[in-house]
Structure formats: C-alpha cells, structure tokens
Structure 1
Amino acid sequence: MPELPEVESLSRFLADRLAGRSVARVHPVSVHALKTYDPPLTAFEGRAFDDVTRHGKFLDLRAGDLHLVLHLARAGWVRWKDKLPEAPPRPGKGPLALRVRLEEPDGAGFDVTEAGTQKHLAVYVVRDPQEVPGVARLGPDPLSGALGLADFAALLAGERRQIKGVLRDQSVLAGIGNAYSDEILHTARMSPFKQAANLSEDEVARLYGAIGTTLTDAVERSRGLALGDLKAEKKSGLRVHGRKGEPCPVCGDTIREVSFSDSALQYCPTCQTDGKILADRRLSRLLK
C-alpha cells in the first residue's frame, strides 16, 4: 500500500511533469472508483494543471478551482506514459481505472491502475479537498513541521489503544500505514502492543524522533526515482516489515510476525519486546 513517502514522491514526480500542461481527455474506465459526479471528470478537459500536492495518503492534482483527488488504497498506482495509445481505453476487468491524456504535441499522460480483485481505489473531483471525507478527518501530517513534541504527546494522552493501531489511525496522524508503523516502532525500540497512554516521556520522545527520521529517510531515498522504481525502493529500504524469518539488521535476532484477519505486523523481539515473543492471535498479548 502506498504510504506517505511514496505518495510524497508521486506528488513531486507528477508536479514536475504536469504543471502548466492542459488536459485533452479524461477516460473513466472503472466506474466503481469514481466517488463523486458533480463536477464531472470531463470538467478537467481543457484545463491546465497548476500543482500536485498531498494530504496524508491522498494525491491532489489541482487545475484552477478543481481538484482531482486520488486515494490509491492497497493496490493502486499511477503510471506515467510519455506516449499514450491513440485508441481510447475500453472498460473491462483489467487494472486500468482512469486515464488522463494531455494536450499534444507529445500525447503524454498517466494511467491510474489498481491490481487484484478487491477494488478500493477512490477518485474524487471536488472544488475543495475538504469535501473528501477521508481528507476532512485527517490528523496532522508528521512531516508538515507543525507537529511538535508537545503536540504529539497530547495526541497520545488518554489513548487506551495499542500504539501500533494509533500510528495507523489517519485521524491521529496522516500518512502512516502498516509498513512504516512497523519500521517506526522498530527504530523506537518499542512493542507494537504497548498502550499509547502508558508511554513514558522518554518513550514519547523516542517515538516522535523515530517517526520523523523514518519518514524523512524514506522520502529522501525515493527522491528522483522513476515511478516504476518507487515500490522496489520501498521494499528494499524496510528493515523489519515483510521480513519475517530474516535476521534483524540491528541485533541479528529473527524477525517475528503477528497475523490478523487482513494484515500482519513484523517486529524484532530483542529490539522491541525484551526478547519476549508476541502471541500470534488477533487479541495478542505477550506470552508469559
């Protein structure tokens, strides 16, 4: 799933290529992905893109007073094409959900795709990004510079949930998903099941620092890469997430996993749980 660093890289890549360029045609290929109908997607035709920005894990492509907002969900992606096919795409069961063709002379543009059978990609056309429910309920962005240590501590105060779930809650912090929450907790040397409200001042400060360094480093590693290389770079840069059974790069212990119905987390027992193994069940607790 694209998270804050990948969406930030997508926004920078597209901003460099779209600014000032006009839309020739918009082809909505997958109707299920379109979440708004007024204004229509065709309202972008003839308009020039002004900027591309990010709201958490949402991409925002602005053209005048209209915003094309994309949420790529678990398996969505944006694919840039220097030369799109001349024939308009046909609706079908393939991964293509949306095609945006720019004005000539080169016929460039981009496709929005979604792999797999579960379709959760979302496309919105709005005049204000706050009209998108997922954007409106976003918490502060960890890389905005507006979230200080005291603000972060206040967000955690009274949180009786496990810290892994708090980090993934978009209404608490915008942009962190399953992969980077694992990486942040490993960097902070913290159990994913530790209750957020029970963190000491030192632990809060350590976690706050880990969020900043983990996300900033991931953004910097992606800088300048082609869109097709971003997913591979993300995977290669992860130290614990998706690496069950491999040695921890810090201490050498075996990376363990806890599986849930629709996801899994990975962690290092030595670095994060004082050597204890977390029970692999939905309501996991430390084994005694």
Structure 2
Amino acid sequence: MPELPEVEALREFLDARLTGRVVERVLPLAVNVLKTYDPPLTVLEGGTAGATARYGKFLAVPIGGLYLVTHLARAGWLRWQGTPPAQPPRPGKGPLALRVVLEGGGGFDLTEAGTQKRLAVYVVRDPREVPGIARLGPDPLAPAFDREAFTALLAGERRQIKGVLRDQSVIAGIGNAYSDEILHRARVSPFKLAASFDAEQAGRLHEAVEDTLREAVERAHGVAAGNLKAEKKSGLRVHGRAGEPCPVCGDTVRSVSFADSSLEYCPTCQTGGKPLADRRLSRLLK
C-alpha cells in the first residue's frame, strides 16, 4: 500500500507533469472506482490542472475549479502515459480503473491489482468534502506536529501503539509498513499500550516517526512513479523481512499474521528477546 512517502513522491511527480495542462478526457473504466456523481466526472474535461496536493494518503488535483481526488488503497497505483494509446480502453475485469488524457499528449492511468477493489476517485468542490480527508489527523511532517503534540495524541489511548500509528484519524499517512519501521527504530513493542508511554519514550517515538518518514521521502524524491514500489521495499529494515537478520542486532526478524495483513519486528530490539504469539491481539509469550 502506498503510504505518506510514496504518495508525497507521486504528488511531486504529478505536479511537475500536470500543472498548467488542459484535461481532454477522463475515462472511468471500473464500476466501483467513482465514489461521487455530482459534479459529474465529465465536467473536468476542458479544465486546466493546478498544483497537486497531498492529504495523508490522498492525492488531490485541482482541475477547472474542482478537484479530482484519489486514494490508491492497498493495491492501487498510478501509471504515467507519455503517449496514451489511440484506441479508447474498454471497461472490463483488468487492472485499469481510470484514465486521464491531456491535450497535446500525455496523461495517466489509475490501476488496481487483485480482486478487492478499493481504489477510490472523487470529484469535489473542496477536498475536505471527501469523508476520508475530513477525518484525517495531523500530518506527521507538518511543523505543528512537535513532541508535545504527539505526546498529547498518545495520552488516554488504551490501544496498542501499532494500531494508533496506523489510525488515520490520529496521524495521517502512516500505514502497515512504516509503522513497523518506526517501532523498530524506536525499539518499541508493537503491542505496547499508547497511554503507557512516559515523556522520554514518547519523545523517542516521535523522533522515530519524523526520521523514518523524512528519510523515506528523501529516498523517494525524484524517483519515477513506476519505480517507487521497488524503492520503498529496498529501504525497509524489518517490514516484509521475516526470517532475515535484523540489520541492527542480527536477531531473526519475526512476523505476526492477521486476517489480511502482518507485522514484522525484532525480538531483541523491541520485545526484550521474547517472541510475540502469532495470533490477533497477541500478548508476549510467557
């Protein structure tokens, strides 16, 4: 799933190619991709694109006074077309969900792999009309997201810190992969209760959030959209690396599996050497 660093890189990528361009055609190809009907998608045709913005994991492109907003979900992606195919695409069961064609050539496709179709596109007058954007928490790269603000977010949270970091209404943009990386960097168990952090621990976790995301954004800077997935994977130290040695201590990275996802961690770095039980709401094995 694209998370804040990759979506920020896509924002930068689109901004350099779309700003000032006129939209010729917008073609929805998947039944479930469009989540709004008023204004209609066709109103964007003939409009000029402005600077692309990011809201957490959402991208918003201003076009002719409206906004084309998308969330790529777990398996969605953006594919730039230097020369879009002359033959109009046909709706079907393939990965193509939406195509935007620009006057004078160029454009992009939104695609989604797999059978669970969650990629979402909205046409709105204000990005905050999108429910997912309206309920977003603060952006962790914003200047106001300091140690004090982060500590206040943790206070009273009786949930495990892994879930808190992934909750978009608490902090915008962090998903499964980077929450694993942040917790490993901070040497924190994914199942530690958020409200149990003292000031020193909260400060260390805040530093890990900032450093992990800023370094990932810097790595993704200037990377072409088609290469961002591989770049993300190459920079991860524990997520998706179960069975490999931890790059910090050499212990074996372990995994906890859930119904539709998993988390990875290092026992030595994060749980005092004790493995976590591989089941939902797991506790440390005794």
Q: TM-score, normalised by structure 1?
A: 0.98
**Aligned equivalent of 1:191:** 189
In the alignment, the residues of structure 2 paired with residue 121 and residue 243 of structure 1 have an alpha-carbon distance, to the nearest angstrom, of 26
SS in structure 2 opposite 1:31?
coil
Q: Offset at 1:31? A: 2.1
Letter in structure 1 aligned against 2:252: T
Q: Gaps (5+ residues) in structure 2?
A: none
Which whole-Å deviations, capped at 9, do the CAs of 1:104-157 have from their partners, x for residues lacking one?
A: 1xx210000000111000000000111100000000000111211111111100
Specify which of 268, 274, 282 is matched with residue 284 of structure 1.
282
**Aligned equivalent of 1:78:** 78
**Aligned equivalent of 1:201:** 199
**Aligned equivalent of 2:228:** 230
Q: Offset at 1:87? A: 1.2
**Aligned equivalent of 1:248:** 246
**Aligned equivalent of 2:171:** 173
Residue correspondence of structure 1 range 47-196 to structure 2 within 5 A:
47-104=47-104, 107-196=105-194
- RMSD over aligned Cα atoms: 0.6
Q: Offset at 1:38? A: 0.6
In the alignment, the residues of structure 2 paired with residue 284 and residue 146 of structure 1 have an alpha-carbon distance, to the nearest angstrom, of 34
Letter in structure 1 aligned against 2:217: V
Q: Which deviates the most, 231-240 or 139-148?
A: 139-148
SS in structure 2 opposite 1:33?
coil
SS in structure 1 opposite 2:26?
strand
Specify which of 269, 272, 283 is matched with residue 270 of structure 2.
272
Q: Is the 8 A contact 1:278 1:287 kept in 2?
A: yes
In the alignment, the residues of structure 2 paired with residue 282 and residue 152 of structure 1 have an alpha-carbon distance, to the nearest angstrom, of 26
In the alignment, the residues of structure 2 paired with residue 91 and residue 241 of structure 1 have an alpha-carbon distance, to the nearest angstrom, of 35
SS in structure 2 opposite 1:182?
helix
* % identical aligned pairs: 71
Letter in structure 2 aligned against 1:220: E
Q: Is the 8 A contact 1:51 1:63 kept in 2?
A: no
Q: How many residues are treated as equivalent by the alignment?
A: 286
In the alignment, the residues of structure 1 paired with residue 44 and residue 87 of structure 2 have an alpha-carbon distance, to the nearest angstrom, of 20
SS in structure 2 opposite 1:134?
helix
| Runs of 4+ residues deviating >6 angstroms | none
Q: Is the 8 A contact 2:44 2:64 kept in 1?
A: no
Letter in structure 2 aligned against 1:37: Y
